[in-house]
Each structure stands twice: as C-alpha cells, then as structure tokens.
Amino acid sequence: MQYRDHRYRSACGRLELAARDYPAADPAAPVLLMMHGLTRNSADFEPLAAHLAGRYRLIVPDQRGRGLSEWAPDPAQYRPDVYSQDMLALLDGLGIERAGLIGTSMGGLMAMVMNALRPGLAQAVVFNDVGPELDPAGIARIQGYVGPAGAMANWIAAAARCRAINAQAFPDYGDAEWMAFARRTCRENADGTVSFAYDPAISDSIEGDQPQTVPPDLWPLWDLLDVMPVLVVRGGLSDLLSAATERAMAQRHSGPYASVEVPRVGHAPILDEPVALAAIKAFCKDYVA
C-alpha cells in the first residue's frame, strides 16, 4: 500500500508530528481517521488499512511521542485532550471537515473528546476495545509494562518481548505473528538494536490511581454521542472493556449502535480478524459516506 508521509505542526505549534495519508481511488471519497493506542503508532493499523485503502482516504497519525512524531518536552502533555487538539490541527491542515473515526483504546477516548470539542466532525465512530469505563485490571496490566526499558538485541528478541507482554491477549499467535507485531510496534536503532517506538515518558500519563490518560468520568462524553452511529469491537478476552460496560454503552445510546466480540483475543484486537473486519466494512459502508 502506498501512502504519503504527511508532516504537520502540533496544536501548540511546538512539535513536528507525522501521519500516513493513504489516498482513495476517488479524490472525493470519504475519510477515515484512525487513532492508535497508548504504546502503538500508525503502523498498528497496517493490517486494517490493507482492507480499507482505496475505498476510503485513510489518515493514520503517529501521536506525539510515538512513531515518527517528535517527543513532547513535558510528559504532562501526554494526555487525550492534548492529542485531540493535535488531531483537529491535522484535519484542519488537510482541509477535512468530516470524517469517520476509528479509535483503538486511547484512540477511542480521543474520539469521545474530539466529538465534545467539535460536534459535527465525526460521521461515525468505531471503538476498538474501549469505552467510557475501563476495568482497573486492564489499567494495572498496562501500568506494569509501559515505561523505560533497555533496547533489545535484535528483532528476534523484540518479538520475544512483545510475546511476553501481550501473550494473554493473543494466545493463538505463533512466531510469524509475533514478528509482525514487533515490526509494527518497534523501531531499529542505528546500532542494530531494537526499541519500542514510543517515548518512555508516556509512562507518566498512566501512573497512579487516576491516570492522566484516563479522564475521571467519561460517561458524559459518551452521552454526547447519543445519536452518532457507533460500532464497538470488543476482544472476547479483554481485561479493559468489560462485557457489562459494553452493555451499558448500548443501553445509553439512542442512535445506530452495533457491537461485535472477537473470540480468543484480548486487548486490543488488531481489527483484521474476520469478525471485526466484516463488521467494520459493513458499518463504514452504511455510515461513512
């Protein structure tokens, strides 16, 4: 898949940020903004983009501190409201007034914040294993692995590290899948070692009983999506989005609402799983135009 490497200024004007811009066959095609999770980057959406590119224009950013985007000098800026302002700057710079939003984990929190900041921007929203209430067990697990870590000797070691961190979420993965996971999640250093492709300082945003990454009460933001077409993808093994929370999301939503559970996958589905992919394709066909 061919994409343009787009560079733009952060909302504060201090950082150079990066995004992948996948063109559509039709220049007037609808736009999907795809936002990754806490420790991921734009490469996280490569498996899904392979199925959507061409029909939609895909805008897939690296949030500040991830991938090819510059790191924030102040770790206190690693939080969803700041990222959301960056996303508005990105879309404004590209002249995009309406888009479908796909948010994995932290990216889904950003979608809620963006809708509150700019009503009418989102045509529809896909939430990948995230909602307005997060299970403390999942937050504790994430707190346990995010942060400073030594470089890995090579890509084989990186794949092994990714497996050690995420094995419970993807119990059916083999060596090939873990290597592909590592290639999307890590970067090779000049000396041949491999590191995770994020600023270790993002760990500050997930610390404590009330992490900055998770606003204290997101239900009011969820309620602002009341008539918005919404699709919720939940990993069947998820420790972050409980089945009870997903049911509550459905009960509090008046507009078009669909949900799908990905079997034998935890937090968070890659979104190329057959059940997730089919649901996303159908949902976007109906509501992102």
Confidence band for 211, pLDDT divided at 50, 70 and 90: confident
Domain map (residue ranges) of the chain: 4-145+201-287
The CATH fold of domain 4-145+201-287: Rossmann fold (3.40.50)
pLDDT value of position 147: 81
Choice among 154-158, 186-190, 202-206 with the minimum mean pLDDT: 202-206
Query: Is the pLDDT confidence value at 208 over 80?
Result: no
Q: What is the pLDDT of residue 172?
A: 98
Give 139's pLDDT tier (boundaries 50, 70, 90).
very high
- The crossing angle, in degrees rounded to 10, of helices 80-94 and 106-117 is 70
* 140: CB partners within 8 A, 6+ apart: none
pLDDT over 90 (residue 67)? yes
- Give residue 32's pLDDT: 98
Look-up: residue for tokens 């990454």? 213
Instruction: Summarize the confidence of residues 237-252 as an average pLDDT.
Output: 98
Q: What is the mean pLDDT of the chain?
A: 96
Residue 279 has pLDDT above 80, yes or no: yes
Contact 202, 38 (CB under 8 A): yes
Average pLDDT of the segment spanning 91-111? 98
Segment 41-52 shows an average pLDDT of 98
Rounded to whole angstroms, the Cα distance separating 77 from 73 reads 8
277 vs 200: CA distance, rounded Å: 31
The token pair at 280 is 């996303």
Where does the pLDDT of residue 42 fall: very low under 50, low under 70, confident under 90, or very high at 90 and above? very high
Q: What are phi and psi of 20, to 5 degrees?
A: -90, 135
Helix (H, G, I), strand (E, B) or coil at 270: coil
Task: Say if residue 80's pLDDT is above 80.
Answer: yes
Q: pLDDT of 194-207, one tens digit each?
A: 999 999 999 988 88
Does pLDDT of 212 surpass 80? no
Q: What per-residue confidence (pLDDT) applies to 148?
A: 81
Q: What is the pLDDT of residues 221-235, one digit of tens each?
A: 999 999 999 999 999
